[in-house]
């Protein structure tokens, strides 16, 4: 019961989530993606069927997982014919209500992690947040989420939005700063590898202490000399210089007000 899934979307999240479900004994009956290449790639990985036409999505699966970018919901979902089957999205920033027009049974399974097609993650550690439009649907989804993670809990749409936003800072923006660090090193032919231990330690530190207490560097010390030297180097990289100033000021203000 509730074991036959369809994946609508074949990106990073769909790939990791569907693979994990399959490992845990669920059956992925079909994969939809707008493009043949990605539909086929995921279907091949899962050894299942695929389609690039929303109209051809099968009607008799138990749960339909929508792992599309938010802006694609309205293109794809009106074309489904799923006869009130359980329709679930995986987006941090879409409310549960975004599915109301498409089924009487709706929910959310939101795994809080960054996914890449090629990189395995330890799914059992990932917090997974569940929401549904009825106690029965919530129970079903908690079971399904509990099968892939030890950290499945219920969370409403508004809180999920905050979670997603905080994840953008803690992951996407962080990764961009890794990228900038790498670009600066590249300009001097220094390998990004030298930053590996620092990057790991920075992330491990905040597993044990609050990040505000872990803050180090010239901005929190208000070390004007160092800041001036860095800005001087960054004259070659004006956009990074702009970010440097704004983030340094934010660090200083935040810690001054504490």
Q: Nearer Cβ to its own copies, position 84 or 187?
A: 187
Among 27, 36, 84, 198, binds its own copies (CB under 8 A): 198
Residue 154 binds its own copies (CB under 8 A): no
Q: Nearer Cβ to its own copies, position 18 or 91?
A: 91
Q: Which stretch binds its own copies (CB under 8 A): 16-24, 28-36, 57-65, 203-211?
A: 203-211
- In the shown chain, the binding pattern of residues 156 to 175 toward its own copies, with x for contact by CB under 8 A and - for none, equals --xx-xxxxxxxxxxxxxxx
Using CB under 8 A as the binding rule, the residues of this chain from 98 to 127 that contact its own copies are 112-116, 119, 121-122, 125-127
Q: Nearer Cβ to its own copies, position 2 or 116?
A: 116
CB of 29 to its own copies, least distance (A): 27
CB of 8 to its own copies, least distance (A): 17
Q: Nearer Cβ to its own copies, position 18 or 248?
A: 248
Give the neighbor-by-neighbor strand order of the sheet with 127-132: 49-51, 27-32, 4-8, 63-66, 86-89, 106-111, 127-132, 151-154
Using CB under 8 A as the binding rule, the residues of this chain from 46 to 75 that contact its own copies are 69-71
Among 83, 135, 209, 256, binds its own copies (CB under 8 A): 209
């Amino acid at each position: 019961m509730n074991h036959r899934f369809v994946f609508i979307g074949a990106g990073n999240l769909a790939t990791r989530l569907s693979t994990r479900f399959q490992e845990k004994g669920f059956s992925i009956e079909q994969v939809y993606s707008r493009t043949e290449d990605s539909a086929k790639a995921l279907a091949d990985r899962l050894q299942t069927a695929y389609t690039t036409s929303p109209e051809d999505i099968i009607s008799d699966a138990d749960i339909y997982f929508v792992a599309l970018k938010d802006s694609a919901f309205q293109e794809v979902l009106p074309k489904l014919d799923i006869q009130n089957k359980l329709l679930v999205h995986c987006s941090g920033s879409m409310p549960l209500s975004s599915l109301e027009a498409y089924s009487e049974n709706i929910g959310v399974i939101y795994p809080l992690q960054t996914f890449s097609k090629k990189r395995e993650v330890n799914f059992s550690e990932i917090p997974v947040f569940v929401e549904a439009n009825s106690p029965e649907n919530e129970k079903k989804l908690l079971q399904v989420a509990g099968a892939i993670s030890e950290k499945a809990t219920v969370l409403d749409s508004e809180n999920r939005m905050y979670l997603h936003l905080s994840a953008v800072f803690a992951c996407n923006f962080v990764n961009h700063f890794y990228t900038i660090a790498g670009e600066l090193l590249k300009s001097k032919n220094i390998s990004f590898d030298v930053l590996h231990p620092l990057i790991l330690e920075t992330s491990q530190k905040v597993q044990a202490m609050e990040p505000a207490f872990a803050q180090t560097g010239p901005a929190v010390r208000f070390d004007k000399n160092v800041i001036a030297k860095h800005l001087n180097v960054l004259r070659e990289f004006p956009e990074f210089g702009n970010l440097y100033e704004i983030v340094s000021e934010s660090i200083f203000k935040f810690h001054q007000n504490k």
